[in-house]
């Protein structure tokens, strides 16, 4: 049995994988079992922040592996404290809860918002407004938060208490707030899975005004947009708003599973002993990886992310077969005349790995991808966009 057959036989049918068996990687390049080289513009879905086998990251992770790998949260360990301090100092937030994934980081954000609002305003104030076309995760509660029916239908009943407002529609948001019983407004500043669509600044400013007026929490889901991806440390920083709760995961630990939920001063003490927990959350190996990653997401790197973003956008805008390029930083979506699947397949055949988001080709390259690889891969994408089969 080859790997394709064994995967089909033994692994649950949840993924339509691309027919590539990756055996190694270095920087923004990966290699399959036949030693075919690919430029990786997906980064494991925005996870390998500094590419594959980054040496600084590897040595931080290895040093922690050699010390100890895991102790649970029953004891003090320094990597997660160091990381929490760094996250707070870099964002102005006050406290951090660590978990293992984006869905869990959001689950914690939702629990925190509900508890804060119901403690303060009464038991009816448990509802959370999320946006249509959003994506917040795959657990029953984060699916409920996800404003897309297609994700819900097979798993009803979901957790109740989510209200879906139209993205970029201030009137609709205002109406949903005025209906009452709201604890928080939760959003991705760039809807990732929904098609790489940035929210409009005027909409987020209105959300912040409503939150102040009606005493609601603002919850930024920065699972995909966080950790330098959009050209700022966190995506909300592009908008000048101040969320009360920020969740992040994906690129935080540069390739290891780690989620973080950042709590502002207002909500820092919302949890007491026993209110929330995680066996693996804040695992020292993952936290050591994250300290290494975060310490390198400095102004110089963020400027580079913005420069590369412009480089890609300039190369693609107006190219034959390209309808539009949306997104922010190194989180970009290309709407093509050709179906996205065909473009993605042709790119892969020519040695470029790209992702999909709705009807778009999605790019999430490593933040330190060299220009030379970027230009080479965009050339291949351009050719794929204009090819008519």
**Residues lying near ligand PLP in the complex (CB under 6 A):** 101-103, 106, 135-137, 188, 192-193, 221, 223-224, 249-250
Give the residue with the Cβ less far from ligand PLP, 188 or 346.
Answer: 188
What minimum distance in Å lies between the beta carbon of 319 and ligand PLP? 27
Rounded Cα–Cα distance for residues 287 and 98 (Å): 9
Residue 90 vs 138, nearer CB to ligand PLP: 138
Q: Which is nearer to ligand PLP, 260 or 373 (CB)?
A: 260
CB of 154 to ligand PLP, least distance (A): 18
- Structure token digits, residue 236: 């909300």
User: Least Å distance between CB 71 and ligand PLP?
Assistant: 23
State which residue, 125 or 162, has the beta carbon closest to ligand PLP: 162
- CB nearer ligand PLP, residue 103 or residue 288: 103
- The rounded distance, in Å, linking the Cα atoms of 330 and 307 is 10
Considering the complex, what minimum distance in angstroms separates the CB of residue 282 from ligand PLP? 15
User: By C-beta, is 147 or 284 nearer to ligand PLP?
Assistant: 147
Q: Minimum CB separation from ligand PLP for residue 227, in Å?
A: 12
The residue number with the shortest CB distance to ligand PLP is 102
> Up-side HSE of residue 139: CA atoms within 13 Å toward CB?
12
Q: How far is the CB of 193 from ligand PLP (least distance, A)?
A: 6
Using the minimum distance from each CB to ligand PLP, give the nearer residue, 252 or 325.
252
Residues in the chain: 389
Shortest spacing between CB 177 and ligand PLP, in angstroms:
22
**Backbone angles phi and psi of 229, in degrees to 5:** -55, -40
As measured in angstroms, the least distance from the Cβ of 232 to ligand PLP is 16
Whose CA is closest to 258, among 35, 63, 96, 71?
A: 96
Whichever of 31 and 280 has its CB closer to ligand PLP, that residue is 280
């Amino acid at each position: 049995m080859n790997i394709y057959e064994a995967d089909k036989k033994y692994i649950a049918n949840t993924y339509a994988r691309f027919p590539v068996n990756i055996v190694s990687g270095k920087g923004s390049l990966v290699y399959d079992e036949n030693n075919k080289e690919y430029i990786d513009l997906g980064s494991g879905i925005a996870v390998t922040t500094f590419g594959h086998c980054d040496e600084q990251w590897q040595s931080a992770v290895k040093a922690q592996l050699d010390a100890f790998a895991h102790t649970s949260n029953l004891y003090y360990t320094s990597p997660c404290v160091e990381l929490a301090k760094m996250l707070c100092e870099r964002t102005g937030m006050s406290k951090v809860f660590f978990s293992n994934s984006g869905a869990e980081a959001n689950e914690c954000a939702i629990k925190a918002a509900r508890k804060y609002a119901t403690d303060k305003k009464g038991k009816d104030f448990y509802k959370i407004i999320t946006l249509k076309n959003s994506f917040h995760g795959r657990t029953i509660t984060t699916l409920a938060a996800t404003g897309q029916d297609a994700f819900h239908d097979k798993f009803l009943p979901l957790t109740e208490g989510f209200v879906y407002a139209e993205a970029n529609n201030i009137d609709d948001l205002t109406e949903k707030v005025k209906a009452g019983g709201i604890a928080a407004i939760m959003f991705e500043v760039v809807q990732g899975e929904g098609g790489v669509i940035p929210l409009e600044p005027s909409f987020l400013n209105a959300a912040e005004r409503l939150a102040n007026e009606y005493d609601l929490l603002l919850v930024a889901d920065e699972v995909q947009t966080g950790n330098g991806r959009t050209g700022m440390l966190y995506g909300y920083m592009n908008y000048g708003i101040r969320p009360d709760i920020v969740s992040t995961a994906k690129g935080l630990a540069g390739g290891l599973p780690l989620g973080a939920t950042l709590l502002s001063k207002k909500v820092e003490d919302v949890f007491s002993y026993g209110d929330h927990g995680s066996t693996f959350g804040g695992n020292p190996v993952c936290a050591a990886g994250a300290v290494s990653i975060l310490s390198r997401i400095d102004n110089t790197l963020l400027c580079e992310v913005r420069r590369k973003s412009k480089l890609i956008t300039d190369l693609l805008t107006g190219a034959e077969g390209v309808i539009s390029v949306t997104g922010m930083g190194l989180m970009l979506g290309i709407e093509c005349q050709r179906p996205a699947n065909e473009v993605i397949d042709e790119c892969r055949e020519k040695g470029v790995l790209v992702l999909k988001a709705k009807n778009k080709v999605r790019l999430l390259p490593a933040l330190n991808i060299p220009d030379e690889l970027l230009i080479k891969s965009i050339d291949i994408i351009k050719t794929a966009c204009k090819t008519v089969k």
